[in-house]
Amino acid sequence: MFFHASRIDEYRSPFGAQPTDAEVTIRFDADKDSNDVTFCYSYGLYGFSYHEEPMYKIECLGQDEDTIRYETRLMLPHEPCLVFYWFRFRNVVKVESEEDSDVKDEIVQTRYYVMEGDTEDASGKLYHEPPRVGADEDKYPYAWQITVYARDFKTPDHMKGALIYQIFPDRFARDSEFTFERMISASSREERVYHEDWNEDVDIKGKPSTGYLACDFFGGSLKGIEEHLDYIKSLGIDIIYLNPIFEARSSHRYDTADYHTVDPMLGGNAAFESFKNACSSKGIRLILDGVFSHTGADSKYFNKFNRYEGVGAYESYETGKESPYRSWYNFYKNEDGYTVYDSWWGFPDLPNVDENNLSYRKFIFGDDGVVDTWMRRGASGLRLDVSDELPDSFIRQMRSVIKAKTGGEGMLVGEVWEDASNKCSYGSYRDFMLGNTHDSVMGYTFRTTVLEYLQGYISAKVFNARMEGFRERYPAESYYCIMNLLSSHDVPRVYTMMSKPQDTDNKEDQQRICVPLEEASRCADLCKLGYAIQMIYPGAPCVYYGDEVLMDGYKDPFNRRPYPWGNVTGESEEHLAFVRKISELRVKNQVLRTGFYKTLLTTEDAIVFERYLDNENRDFFGSSVMPSQGARRVVLIVNRSREGIYLSLDEQGNDLKCTQLKDSSVGYSSEHIINGISFGPMQVGVASGSLLFVVYN
């Protein structure tokens, strides 16, 4: 028998990511005939070193003493990094002699025990090769990972478990004083398309003279959002995350034209001041979207189209005139003699910036620079667009400046689509989850895993294994702040995805993709399950505007349609009521923000997990939770299948046991919240495609 599982305490302790200089105990069970049992590890970040340590026998296991347990106690490195490990041993194997089949030759066989994917306990398997852990290597076979983060890593408490609402500013709401003429006069440009009717569909053609440029506008404004803050607060929202609001040519505004100015179409800087004050009065913080890997070609810095005063970088390169922005960009002449420049993914409207240029860094990080300006104006943090395309040193400086300007309370969130704890780009592992750069990242891995489970592509067991993997690899300070999302401006809406649409790159076909009428009820039910998981799981759940009313929409720009004010009826209205109900549960129970987590049961289709306080009513971070702050335990039962499930819940002291029953006399429950249960046992039946909350006071 050979065995190690990093999520079982007797084999690795303590659980999960660890601070620098911590000690981790690692145990491995091996067959008694194994020799040279060795603990192999590699650690580093930008460069790795390989090491071997002999493991020591600590006890014999089994009636025949045929298995021996080995142990090593590893002191983790003094600096933040990644540690990968696996096990090597040698066995003597008898094989037939090539000369005489009756004679057995003995050969020494080297074998490895490596991590196996998608096991709930992170156990391993035997393999004939060691893991590959290099940044540019195929990561198979897998190694176990220990994330070693800075010992002083601390994220703002207000972000832990916060409920976030993401808004695409042009598409949320017009203000009460909106006029079509005012929208045009705010910033009239020939390539822009203006929608007079709020209920029109998004444009996908553009002007005949320019083609599609994402330059269509509906007239949403910061004042429009401000006038709907009561609605937003009714969803339990703590933080509003705004897609870019800085002046830009496009409606998505990822082509920044002026970092210090709110786009006139949104109301300008005065509108931001009013909006920020209104949010503060309701206890809502603001996270702004910052785009620092590139600017717009149509900007005061690049100024390719001469729409701004002063000499931009483009004119400076062409004519030799001086410009303070010239050194930010990389120009050259192509073989035909034309001026070209580095741009984001080859889009000429998005010229790349050299983030290592000290003039640019002063502009972003210096006194009265971009970060200083927006922290003074009241932002609570920034979300970094395309974090993996920014140098680690740039992000480290960004976080340092944000913390300095906000007394440590500012938040830096990164756009990272993959596992941020071991993300590789540009030939290196990235310093994303080690306590030096981001406080948190966008939870695209959360979205992918939840959708694959609810769509039926993976079982509840695999869902749990993957989610536990992220929890194991991320520092808790960060994990409780992860922006767990189901939709965003960059991916299809969750309601649409529940119908499993056929993918296409043709925008006309994408425009027609919507949930079929006959599937609407089932897709709405699955969205409820997804929202419940999002609200009860550790992290900072992020609701993309309109998901609460089941907005439909495939890829960009159809996931950016205007919010359907005045048209929320039927199933959408019912879903909104459900969202408010579950959000209220999160608001009233601190345990759902910072409580411990434990999976109680998984089947093929169902998962049961709990959030709880310890026996002294303390949360994961050791803070006492008062009775006025809600329940000490909340259990969520999710059943995606078309068959019901019967369960027994039995509270024993501070532990909760969950057992699946083959049958029961109890009736089915669906989407109910049971309050005031002190002790079990209790039997429940959860209907197909539904969920059940149990709240223990």
pLDDT at position 679 is 46
Tokens 């998608």 found at = 118
3-state helix, strand, coil in the chain (%, to 5): 25, 30, 45
What integer pLDDT is reported at residue 663 of this predicted model? 78
Residue 184 half-sphere exposure toward CB, CA atoms < 13 A: 9
pLDDT of residue 684: 82
List the one residue out of 594, 593, 596, 606 whose CA is nearest residue 464: 606
Residue type, 7: R
Residue 78: Cβ within 10 Å count: 10
- 12-149: which CATH number, 3.40.1280.10, 3.40.640.10, 2.60.120.200, 2.60.40.10? 2.60.40.10
Residues of the chain with pLDDT under 70: 62-64, 93-106, 669-680
What is the CATH superfamily name and number for domain 164-293+355-582?
Answer: Glycosidases (3.20.20.80)
Residues sharing a CB contact under 8 Å with residue 526, sequence separation 6 or more, in sequence order: 454, 455, 498, 640, 689
Give yes or no on whether 12-149 and 590-696 have one common fold.
yes
What are the CA-CA distances from residue 514 to residues 195, 202, 511, 554 (Å)? 22, 15, 8, 7
pLDDT at 505: 94
| Three-state DSSP class for residue 278 | helix
Q: Per-domain residue ranges for the chain? A: 12-149, 164-293+355-582, 294-351, 590-696
Q: Which two tokens stand for residue 517?
A: 């009428």
pLDDT confidence of residue 383:
98
Residue 373 CA to residue 364 CA, distance in Å, equals 9
- The pLDDT of residue 96 is 64
CATH 2.40.50 describes domain 590-696? no
Give 112-137 pLDDT, tens digit per residue.
Answer: 999 999 999 999 999 999 999 999 88
pLDDT of residue 115: 97
- Burial grade of 614 (CB within 10 A; 0-12, 13-18, 19 or more): middle
For residue 241, give both structure tokens.
């995350």
DSSP state of 28: E
Query: What's the token pair of residue 431?
Result: 């310093």
Say how many Å lie between the first and final Cα of the chain, rounded: 44
The distance of Cα 468 from the centroid of its chain, to the nearest Å, equals: 14
